[in-house]
With several copies, the nearest count.
Chain A
Amino acid sequence: MVMTHRFTQLFAAPHRKAFIPFFTLGDPDPGASFELICTAVEAGADAIELGFPFSDPITDGPVNQRSMQRALKAGTTYATCLELLRRIRSRYPALPIGLLLYYNLLHMRGDRAYAEFADIGIDAIVCSDLPFDESEGHMQMLAAHGLGCIQMVAPNTPGDRASKLLDHSSAFTYVISRFGTTGTNEHFDDEALRRIERLRQSTSQPFVVGFGISTVAQAQAFWQRGANGVIVGSLFSLCIENHLQSIPSVHAFIDGFISEVQGGKACQNVQDAASPTQRVVAAPSFPARNER
């Protein structure tokens, strides 16, 4: 039970703006993957979302698909993923860690999966291909092992259903930013931002926005409309793909991007002060930053 508190604590301040990078475990290989995740944490990630590679990641876009294929090709197994998680948890005891799994992986691992995750100290789990209506058993197992439940809300999820999903999320709710799969995005239309605004007005539960976010400005826009956090993943996967022969530059990119995001928060917080619905949160937001 205590473990979910890391996300609970993160979102305790209602206007805490979390930046949550996503990485495929094992991309480009297990060792490099660990190092890249550490760089992200140390650059200021407020939490991390880690994906188990799956052979056929249908709810992901091609970028994350290739990321998962690289991880699998590099020999990343389920056990490799568990080992990576142990190492990350061991290095960053306070870091909120969410997992993304295609449900078949959990299904095949069976009930012991939940115990293993709890034992490692995972905070919350989302399955992108397990909708609420099919997740009763899954939610029971999460609850039984003190693991946080993350439900997903889509752009076309009706309001009453969204409320139900928000209510059944015990860590946070994952709000899909737009129609489509994960990936990088040039531009979000106004409607995407208004959806977040409307959702914020309807609930005080914490939710984060993901899918397609790939610039600092986009992250800020979603925060500004009321998201408790944003998840950015494909941007980093694409960077790995483009620099397989020079991983140090991937580290530099991750560090640079996250530093910029976190540095921008101060300015944005000042800006936010102008908005009557937003409060200034002056202190640096990330508790894990100096943990190492």
Chain B
Amino acid sequence: GAHAFYGGSYVSESLVGVLAEVEAAFRTARSDPAFVQALWLVMQNFAGRETPLGYASRLSAKLGRHIYLKREDLLHGGAHKTNSTLGQLLLAKRMGKTRIIAETGAGQHGVATAMTGAALDLPVEIYMGAVDIERQQQNVRRMALFGAKVHPVEAGGATLKDAINEAMRDWITNVGSTYHCFGTAAGPYPYPSMIKYFQSVIGLESRRQLLEQTGRLPAAVYACIGGGSNAVGLYAGFEDDADVTLYGAEPAGLADGSAHHAATLTQGCVGVFHGMRSLFLQNGEGQISNTHSIAAGLDYPGVGPELAALQESGRATFVAISDMEALDAFETLSRLEGIIPAFESAHALALAIRSSLNHPPGSSHVVCLSGRGDKDLDQYGQIRGWS
């Protein structure tokens, strides 16, 4: 809800109206069978749902626990983000919006939005830091192929935070025609709730699939946490199952005691930023920190409000996973299962490798493989000194 301790809608007065408009549209859409049907059709025929829940046999043998992988990496676009961009852009279309904007860091959300805009015939403009554009040429190329316009952001550090700032400015300026497609289950209400709804398919499918395959619920489920969209989506399937432990892996980065991390839940404190009251990495005066993670998609100083609440209530357990642990998991899954996970997803996997051992031998564990790691191969090569 809008007035829980975490969450809310802390935005410029210029956006108050459009957020109310989005909320109303979302409320009617989700209870309109035609919308739900249209959404499921594109989820199935364009995005490739449902995604498999695959048994990781060699990893399971190694751990003595049954590890199941929810294969969001097989979704069109290569990550779970497509669930949300499809939902949001169908909603934008329903609202009569004629222009979509989004910000992007490494480019993943920009690509997902551009791709979805092409499929749904909605023009897309993407804000991306000039530094990131330089670093992520392939994603810039993808967005251009999809017909999206990419605006380089030269302000500030010319990276994600600056791109967000510019996208917000665009939205404030063009609020009538434009829908701002959010990248994660954060930001002002109703975005966190809406994106949870669109991502809940991850958890709902996983639960049904595991019951079909084993007849039992898992001991625990695992997701990585940037803003938290794949986590809230996964948890949505299991939060009412009191015996299922919900784990979240956030980035401990260098894990050297420095500020080179993005472990918001375990090291952040309550603040109000990017439209929401939640946990943030910030200094004592409220200036937002610069963060670090090997995984661009986790490199964010805040976290969705629902996750902050789940931590406070004790329902979910969040653990910080270092770059190195994630890299190990990245290599382990590649070697043992023939699946290269995204660096983001490798955090969830690393946590599963570690924490599943706290559960009985033979117990089942579901890891959300939120994306594929093709995008990380260059960086991996650099880290391992291959190039």
Which residues of A approach B to under 8 Å, CB–CB?
A: 54-59, 61-62, 65-66, 69, 72, 77-78, 102-109, 128-134, 151-158, 161, 165, 176, 179-181
CA distance A103 to B277 in the complex (A): 10
Within 8 A of A (CB), among B156-207: 156, 161, 164-166, 168-169, 172-176
How many B residues, CB 8 Å from partner? 37
Indicate whether A156 sits within 8 Å of B285 (C-beta atoms), given known contacts A56-B165, A104-B273, A108-B271: no
Indicate whether A176 sits within 8 Å of B272 (C-beta atoms), given known contacts A58-B169, A104-B286: no
Q: How far is the CB of A236 from chain B (nearest CB, A)?
A: 19
Q: Chain A residues near B273 (CB, 8 Å)?
A: 56, 104
Q: How far is the CB of A132 from chain B (nearest CB, A)?
A: 7
- Contact: B10 with A157, CB < 8 Å? no
Look across to chain A and name the residue whose beta carbon is closest to the beta carbon of B173: A180
CA distance A106 to B10 in the complex (A): 13
Q: Which 8 A-B pairs have the closest CB atoms?
A: A108-B286, A154-B14, A180-B173, A154-B13, A104-B286, A55-B287, A152-B13, A59-B12
Tell me which of B9, B11, B275, B285 has the highest count of chain A C-beta atoms within 10 A of its own C-beta: B285
- Contact: A179 with B14, CB < 8 Å? yes
Q: Contact mask B12-48 → A, CB, 8 Å, 1/0?
A: 1110111000000000000000000000000000000
- Contact: B16 with A133, CB < 8 Å? yes
- Contact: A62 with B11, CB < 8 Å? no
Q: Chain A residues near B172 (CB, 8 Å)?
A: 59, 179-181
Cβ-defined partner of B175 (8 Å) among A58, A156, A165: A156
Known interface pairs A65-B165, A131-B12, A155-B14; 10 further A-B residue pairs with C-beta atoms within 8 A, sorted by A's residue number: A58-B165, A59-B168, A62-B155, A103-B10, A106-B286, A108-B282, A129-B275, A133-B16, A179-B173, A180-B172
Q: How far is the CB of A7 from chain B (nearest CB, A)?
A: 19
- Contact: A78 with B285, CB < 8 Å? yes
CA distance A231 to B273 in the complex (A): 25
Any chain A CB within 8 A of the CB of B360? no
Any chain A CB within 8 A of the CB of B1? no
- Contact: A107 with B13, CB < 8 Å? no
Q: Chain A residues near B274 (CB, 8 Å)?
A: 58
Any chain A CB within 8 A of the CB of B215? no
CA distance A158 to B20 in the complex (A): 12
Any chain A CB within 8 A of the CB of B288? yes
- Contact: A107 with B164, CB < 8 Å? no
Any chain A CB within 8 A of the CB of B385? no
Any chain A CB within 8 A of the CB of B8? yes
* Interface of B (DSSP majority class): mixed
Q: Chain B residues near A55 (CB, 8 Å)?
A: 287-288
Any chain A CB within 8 A of the CB of B284? yes
Cβ-defined partner of A157 (8 Å) among B8, B13, B173, B288: B13
Q: Chain B residues near A107 (CB, 8 Å)?
A: 270-272, 286
A-B contact count (CB 8 A): 111
CA distance A25 to B286 in the complex (A): 16
Cβ-defined partner of A104 (8 Å) among B9, B166, B271: B271
Cβ-defined partner of B16 (8 Å) among A57, A78, A102, A131: A131
Q: Chain A residues near B161 (CB, 8 Å)?
A: 56
Look across to chain B and name the residue whose beta carbon is closest to the beta carbon of A63: B155
Q: Contact mask B268-294 → A, CB, 8 Å, 1/0?
A: 001111110000101011111000000
- Contact: B287 with A129, CB < 8 Å? no
- Contact: A108 with B284, CB < 8 Å? yes
Q: How far is the CB of B275 from chain A (nearest CB, A)?
A: 8
Q: Chain B residues near A65 (CB, 8 Å)?
A: 155-156, 165
Tell me which of B9, B10, B173, B270 has the highest count of chain A C-beta atoms within 10 A of its own C-beta: B10
- Contact: A66 with B173, CB < 8 Å? no
Q: Chain B residues near A59 (CB, 8 Å)?
A: 12, 168, 172
CA distance A181 to B155 in the complex (A): 15
Indicate whether A181 sits within 8 Å of B284 (C-beta atoms), given known contacts A56-B273, A107-B272, A157-B13: no
Cβ-defined partner of A181 (8 Å) among B169, B271, B280, B288: B169
Q: Chain B residues near A103 (CB, 8 Å)?
A: 10, 272
- Contact: A109 with B175, CB < 8 Å? no
Q: How far is the CB of B42 from chain A (nearest CB, A)?
A: 31
Cβ-defined partner of A129 (8 Å) among B12, B156, B176: B12
- Contact: B155 with A66, CB < 8 Å? yes
Q: Chain A residues near B13 (CB, 8 Å)?
A: 131-132, 151-154, 157, 165, 176
Q: Chain B residues near A181 (CB, 8 Å)?
A: 169, 172-173
Q: Contact mask B68-102 → A, CB, 8 Å, 1/0?
A: 00000000000000000000000000000000000
12 examples of A-B residue contacts, CB within 8 angstroms: A65-B165, A72-B287, A104-B271, A104-B286, A104-B288, A130-B272, A131-B12, A132-B16, A133-B9, A154-B16, A157-B17, A180-B172
CA distance A211 to B266 in the complex (A): 39
Q: How far is the CB of A286 from chain B (nearest CB, A)?
A: 29
Q: How far is the CB of A128 from chain B (nearest CB, A)?
A: 6
Look across to chain B and name the residue whose beta carbon is closest to the beta carbon of A77: B285
Q: Chain A residues near B271 (CB, 8 Å)?
A: 104, 107-108
CA distance A158 to B287 in the complex (A): 33
